[in-house]
Chain A
Amino acid sequence: MSLADNHIVSSFDDDLNQLADKLAEMGGLCEKLVGESVDALVRRDIPLARRVIEWDRAIDRLQHEIEERGIMTIARRAPVAIDLRQVVGALRIANDLERIGDLAKNIAKRVVALDGQFQPPKLAGGVAHIADLTLAQLKEVLDAYTRRDDKRALEVWTHDGEIDALYNSLFRELLTYMMEDPRNIGFCAHLLFCAKNIERIGDHATNVAETVYYVVHGVPLTEDRPKADLVSADFD
């Protein structure tokens, strides 16, 4: 897989590399905010939650910047083949990351709203667990993007089912807490929304995985695609 190098017009390499750098920066920030939003929830850390809400603006700004750079690159360089896929891939991934930032912010806002009505920390344990798994997926897929590693992207894509399954069991768990003691209902309902947000972060990580696959292979990732074909497709 060729990265953005070796163009005869070297400033074209610069354009593509800067786009990738911005995206890496945005990805790192997303990871941080998702992690901190869940920490804030588990540790009842209102100041941390407020910081997450603040920082989401930086993510929006980065997305905007990536979009402008991407559009500028399309207009100026008229990229084709792998270059076109890199640019389109960056735009798509920036979109998913922006949504992830929003979802983290949403969790942080709930933490702020919950101020004063926190319940026993064990209730948040399940949410922390699904968050760990999701964060691992997010890290993995961002790594896969940086390395243009289609196999790791495929791993992420395949494992998304686990997050969905975990969400469903968490849903049932929280229901039992609510039935046990109606005073848990308000808090658990908030937790449920947080868990749902995390589950959706997982979906966006899966979208990123699909984009990485597309950038590498030039064809969409579909479930009926035989695995043997994945390795041999296109050139290395």
Chain B
Amino acid sequence: MDATAVAKSAPANIGARPQPLGEPKIIARDVNVHYGEKHALKNVTLDVPEKAVMAFIGPSGCGKSTFLRCINRMNDTVASAKVSGLIQIDDQNIYDPSLDVVQLRARVGMVFQKPNPFPKSIYENVAYGPRIHGLARNKAELDEIVESSLKKASLWNEVKDRLNDTGTGLSGGQQQRLCIARAIAVSPEIILMDEPCSALDPIATARVEELIEEIRRNYTIVIVTHSMQQAARVSQRVAFFHLGILVETGETEKIFTSPNDKRTQDYITGRFG
């Protein structure tokens, strides 16, 4: 650049970068998933930062849920699924044959698209996990866990007077927050959410997003969403999948202002790819 250009004072790019994210909580290396002949995930290599929200976006069928299910080994229950590659949580290989899958699933909670409370009381929905994992020594401790989980899920005030009512009687948005309370109750380190708001109205969605914002400093959260706006609102990092390939990951600001890959741009801006 010549002298005149250097003499010009252009503003320095101060404060434009967000805080760097913490260490990776989950690392995936060359993960491949086949369902029979179908090669659903191809060589996915990805770091999920600790105590932050990472959003998975991409067209339907690109493998987002498949990858999510690798993280808590839910694919083990799909007969045709074959998973290869390495996935570690805190440096521990979660596909190590000696690993206790029940323990793993206590560390990695999951919230699904359709709220799926048990057909039991609100209290029982939350108490179930801590009870089977032996997290409470007595009724008082269990009450304590139920209350604090419902509080963390921002549902306590709405249900504290009717803990014995059935969970399925709540509104859709409340049911989803109940499912989040149920996931939180076993003190997981990671919470996986697969399109948690796609069945909710905007107000219920806003409540869930507010909840994610409140808890994200204490949990590592991975959320699959079809709403670009939601990904932009709740996440710090975004991973874009396309046809079983991880195309691009980056800071949310970067992905939504200037993604690197044309496929990412075409998808998030709603263009024909």
B6 touches A223 (CB 8 A): yes
Query: Does B13 belong to the interface (CB within 8 Å)?
Result: yes
> Within B230-273, which residues are at the interface with A (CB < 8 Å)?
232, 254-262, 264-266, 268-272
Q: When chains A and B are docked, how far (Å) is the Cα of A6 from the Cα of B1? A: 36
Q: When chains A and B are docked, how far (Å) is the Cα of A79 from the Cα of B270? A: 9
B8 touches A81 (CB 8 A): no
Query: Does A14 belong to the interface (CB within 8 Å)?
Result: no
> Within A180-228, which residues are at the interface with B (CB < 8 Å)?
206, 210, 217-223, 227
- Write the nearest CB–CB distance from A229 to chain B, whole angstroms: 11
A7 touches which of B6, B228, B262, B269 (Cβ 8 Å): B269
A235 touches B268 (CB 8 A): no
Q: When chains A and B are docked, how far (Å) is the Cα of A218 from the Cα of B264? A: 14
Q: When chains A and B are docked, how far (Å) is the Cα of A42 from the Cα of B240? A: 59
A223 touches which of B10, B258, B260, B268 (Cβ 8 Å): B10
> Within A133-188, which residues are at the interface with B (CB < 8 Å)?
157-162, 165
A222 touches B12 (CB 8 A): yes
Q: When chains A and B are docked, how far (Å) is the Cα of A79 from the Cα of B8? A: 32
Closest to B262 in A: A235
> Within B85-139, which residues are at the interface with A (CB < 8 Å)?
none
- Write the nearest CB–CB distance from A26 to chain B, whole angstroms: 25
A8 touches B270 (CB 8 A): yes
B2 touches A158 (CB 8 A): yes
- Write the nearest CB–CB distance from A215 to chain B, whole angstroms: 10
- Write the nearest CB–CB distance from B59 to chain A, whole angstroms: 12
B272 touches A8 (CB 8 A): yes
B257 touches A7 (CB 8 A): no
Interface residues on B, range: 20 to 34
Q: When chains A and B are docked, how far (Å) is the Cα of A13 from the Cα of B259? A: 20
Closest to A236 in B: B262
B: residues with CB less than 8 A from A are 1-13, 16, 228-229, 232, 254-262, 264-266, 268-272
A: residues with CB less than 8 A from B are 2, 6-9, 12, 78-85, 157-162, 165, 206, 210, 217-223, 227, 234-235
Report if A160-B265 is in contact (Cβ < 8 Å); known contacts: A78-B229, A84-B256, A85-B257. no
Q: When chains A and B are docked, how far (Å) is the Cα of A12 from the Cα of B117? A: 40
A81 touches B270 (CB 8 A): no
B265 touches A221 (CB 8 A): no
Q: When chains A and B are docked, how far (Å) is the Cα of A219 from the Cα of B1? A: 18
A79 touches B269 (CB 8 A): yes
Contact residues in A for B254 (Cβ distance below 8 Å): 218
Q: When chains A and B are docked, how far (Å) is the Cα of A220 from the Cα of B259? A: 15
A82 touches B265 (CB 8 A): yes
B256 touches A160 (CB 8 A): no
Of A2, A8, A81, A160, most buried by chain B (CB within 10 Å of CB) is: A81
Contact residues in B for A221 (Cβ distance below 8 Å): 10
A235 touches B271 (CB 8 A): no
